[in-house]
Structure 1
Amino acid sequence: MKTWEEIKEIQPLAGKIITNSMEKGRISHAYLISGERGTGKEKIALQLAKSVFCSNKDGVEPCQTCNACQRIASKNHPDVLWIEPEGQSIKKEQIDKLQKEFMYSGLESNRKVYIIKAADTLTLNAANRILKFLEEPNKATTAIMLAENSQSIIPTIRSRCQILDLKPLNPQLFQQQLMESGIPEANARLFSALTNNLTEAIHWNEDEWFAQARKLMVQLVETFAANPDDVYLFIHSKWLPHFNERSGQEHGMDLLLLAFKDILLSHIGYEDATVVFAKSSNKLEDLVMAFSQEKVLAILNAILKAKQKLKQNVHPTLVMEQLTLQIQR
């Protein structure tokens, strides 16, 4: 997505809202752009920043080639400030540093843009600091916050932002694209359920870590079904050592979520929609017998809550232990 027209083809509502506001000279002082990974949050943020600073725009379209556009693309523009999580969260000290930056006027213009990636990882103190910015908006400042779920942002921040919820991309079309890139159908089916980023999917296809992660996920689900007394040993000896970084922990939860979705779909007769287990496999039939439809729904809800706890910086060992208890009930 390199132009607003391309953005509107993939995210028509968000693209139209932003371009209409730019055409009227009414860029919002704060945007909250939410959507799943791969839906284009960061690309939209970059495009908006370029439209603000580009000196050779064609209407609302930035030229992509001027000095400002190129530095924004490489995240080196002095008046476009990026905030990303340090560790597992965005901390108050990072927002304090941002506030100091805003004590000074723009280095190359009278405008400033700040972009907060993974805004749903803001600690409560950091969120309250950001709120002060939003309560006293500066006409020359535009805030762009990116999150996977806008509901995970505190209400007082949401109420002061223009919220743009991005729609999920079509996984079938992406699956076909993956297969055309040489990824086997089974992997393409799984990757298209996890990401909309072609580069990321190709990396996973070549990554032994991800292959082992998928294997461990299947083993864990089977252990829950056949040998529940062995689950704690499995988690501490196999699962936690492998999923030892935040991104890996999130991938593990996503894989578990897909596995139990497969079981639910099989319960209601949609085996062809499964992405983790082979269609009509004996493994899947055994798991359908082991987990009732009501139980699977409860497990899916528990996994979603566990994912949220990881984002809130709860210790991953505690999260997995609590999830295990909930699945075993």
Structure 2
Amino acid sequence: MTTTTTSIATKQPRLLDAFKQIIAQQHLAHAYLFAGMEGAGQLDLATWIAQRLFCLNVVDGEPDGTCEECVRIASGQHPDIVMVAPTGQSIHVEQVRYLKAEFSKSAVEGNRKLFIINDAEKMTASAANSLLKFIEEPSGNVTAFLLTTNKQLMLPTIISRTQVIEFPPLPAAVLQQTFEAAGISAKDAQTLRHLTNSLTQAQALLVDDWLPNAVDQLWQWFQQTVKGEPRSFVAVQTRLVGLAKEREQQLVLLDLIAALFQDLLQLHFDVDDESELSFGQYQSELTTLTTNLNTTQLVAATELGLSAKRQLASNISLQNVLEGLTLQLWPIFKTNA
């Protein structure tokens, strides 16, 4: 097996088998949206498909990984495979115009072209709208792969015009073992595997104890919020906003908030396995809280937590997102005040 094949076979064996069949039957669609957690294998699978389509020595449906075509694809040097990624925080309309210009050209060396858009959720609205025409009216032997870790941030018009492939999270036990083997504590690993499948990203979140500090500060804010305490509103500016100055940190902070409410829901429905929780160290306190709340309240709180990330994507500041969330949560949790 090639390195790429081994990686995707380990992460997503069912999806690998599915695309082997799709390619063998020549049923490859013109546009796919690969959606899943960071590190779930979206780029690995897109790379494997490219190698499988261009490989000079396919054996039993597998690219050999050593021919000139496979090597160039692995190094990002193949002229008929164009990849776009964010410059700064976004993928801009100029980058999509470049893609569209490439779409209209014939393949340099063969009769097929592939386009891979990494972090596709970071396309600006104008960039995403600019891409729609190709997706609606593809020309020639062209396939586009849009890769995302946040499908909810994609324009509905893009989603509706692509074949969406959901990448399930990697098995919890495997991730826990992988993270712990890399020197991450069991407690931190338990939280991290609900945030990412990527060891690299997990390690980055632990630099300067960022994640443990974020969990601690979030828990203090949460305890104040569920009691309707005004200081929870103040804590947004004095504690939480300063934690997340970088965009990626802001997204992770909102993911942690959503995970906290999902823990509440799980405990409400008697999923009491601590290892399944993002905030397992607070299981006792969370369990006590669920006894004072009904399903409607918990679902409402969870939906607010999930919607916060979409607000941030709409260029609302983190402070405004969190302050608004705090004010909306107070009446939901008023029975616990």
What is the TM-score when the length of structure 1 is the normalising length?
A: 0.86
Give the TM-score taking structure 2 as reference length: 0.84
Q: Sort the Cα spacing of 1:221 and 1:94 in 2 relative to 1 into closer, same or farther, 3 A.
A: same
- Distance of 1:109 and 1:90 partners within structure 2: 28
Which of 295, 307, 311 is matched with 1:309 structurally?
A: 311
Aligned mates of 2:28, 2:283 — CA distance in 1: 52
Letter in 1 for 2:319: T
Q: Residue 3 of structure 1 contacts residue 61 of structure 1 at CA under 8 Å; is this kept in 2?
A: no
Amino acid of the structure 2 residue aligned with 1:66? C
Task: Determine the structure 2 residue equivalent to 1:251.
Answer: 252
List gaps (5 residues or longer) in structure 2: 332-337
Partner of 2:299: 297
CA-CA distance at 1:290 after TM superposition = 7.1
2:194 aligned residue: 193
SS at match of 1:33: strand
Partner of 2:236: 235
Q: 1:4 to 1:25 in 2, by over 3 A?
A: farther
Deviation string, structure 1 residues 204-249 (Cα, Å, up to 9, x no partner): 3454222322222122112213562112321112211221222111
SS in 1 for 2:32: strand
- Deviation, 1:293, is 4.9
Task: State the 1:4 CA deviation.
Answer: 4.6
SS in 2 for 1:81: strand
Q: Which amino acid aligns with 2:278?
A: V
- What's the CA shift for 1:149? 5.5
Q: Is the 8 A contact 1:45 1:115 kept in 2?
A: yes
User: Percentage identity across aligned positions?
Assistant: 33
Choose 143-152 or 43-52, whichever is displaced more: 143-152
Q: CA deviation at 1:6?
A: 6.0
Counterpart Cα distance in 2 of 1:135 and 1:226 = 50
Pair 263,152 (structure 1): closer, same or farther in 2 beyond 3 Å: closer
Which residue of the other structure, out of 259, 275, 278, is the alignment partner of 1:275? 278
Query: Would you identify which runs of 4 or more consecutive aligned residues in structure 1 move more than 6 Å?
Result: none
Q: CA deviation at 1:156?
A: 4.3
Counterpart CA distance in 2 for 1:204 and 1:74 is 27
Superposed, 1:1-329 pairs within 5 Å as: 2-4=3-5, 7=8, 10-148=11-149, 150=151, 153-226=154-227, 228-273=229-274, 274-278=277-281, 280-281=283-284, 283-284=285-286, 287-288=289-290, 293-329=295-331
Q: Decide whether aligned partners of structure 1 residues 154 and 88 sit closer, same or farther in structure 2, where only a CA change above 3 A counts.
A: same
CA RMSD of aligned residues (A): 2.9
Q: Cα gap change, 1:209/1:71 in structure 2, threshold over 3 Å: closer, same or farther?
A: farther
8 Å Cα contact 1:39-1:166 kept in structure 2: yes
- Can you give the 5+ residue segments of structure 1 that lack an aligned partner in the other structure? none
How far off its partner does 1:27 sit?
2.7
CA distance in 2, matches of 1:179, 1:100: 46
Structure 1 contact 79–106 (Cα < 8 Å) conserved? yes
SS of the residue aligned with 1:125?
A: helix
Residues 66/152 of structure 1: CA separation in 2 closer, same or farther (3 Å cut): same
The equivalent residue for 2:334 is none
Shift of 1:98: 1.7
CA distance in 2, matches of 1:14, 1:229: 49
8 Å contact kept, 2:93–2:124: yes
Q: What's 2:335 paired with?
A: none
Give the superposition deviation at 1:253. 1.0
Q: Distance in 2 between matches of 1:227 and 1:30?
A: 47
Cα distance change on mapping 1:102 and 1:280 into 2, 3 Å: closer
Count of equivalent residues: 328
Q: Which range moved further: 1-10 or 263-272?
A: 1-10
Q: Measure, in 2, the Cα distance between the counterparts of 1:290 and 1:10.
A: 40
Kindly indicate whether the alpha-carbon contact (under 8 Å) linking 2:51 and 2:63 is maintained by their aligned counterparts in 1: yes
- Which has the larger displacement, 199-208 or 170-179? 199-208
Write the distance in 2 (CA, Å) between the matches of 1:83 and 1:129: 14
- Residue 73 and residue 318 in structure 1: after superposition, are their counterparts in 2 closer, same or farther (change >3 A)? farther
Deviation at 1:154, TM superposition (A): 4.1
User: C-alpha distance in 1, partners of 2:180/2:189?
Assistant: 6
Answer whether contact 1:121 1:312 (CA < 8 A) is retained. no
3-state secondary structure, aligned to 1:47 = helix
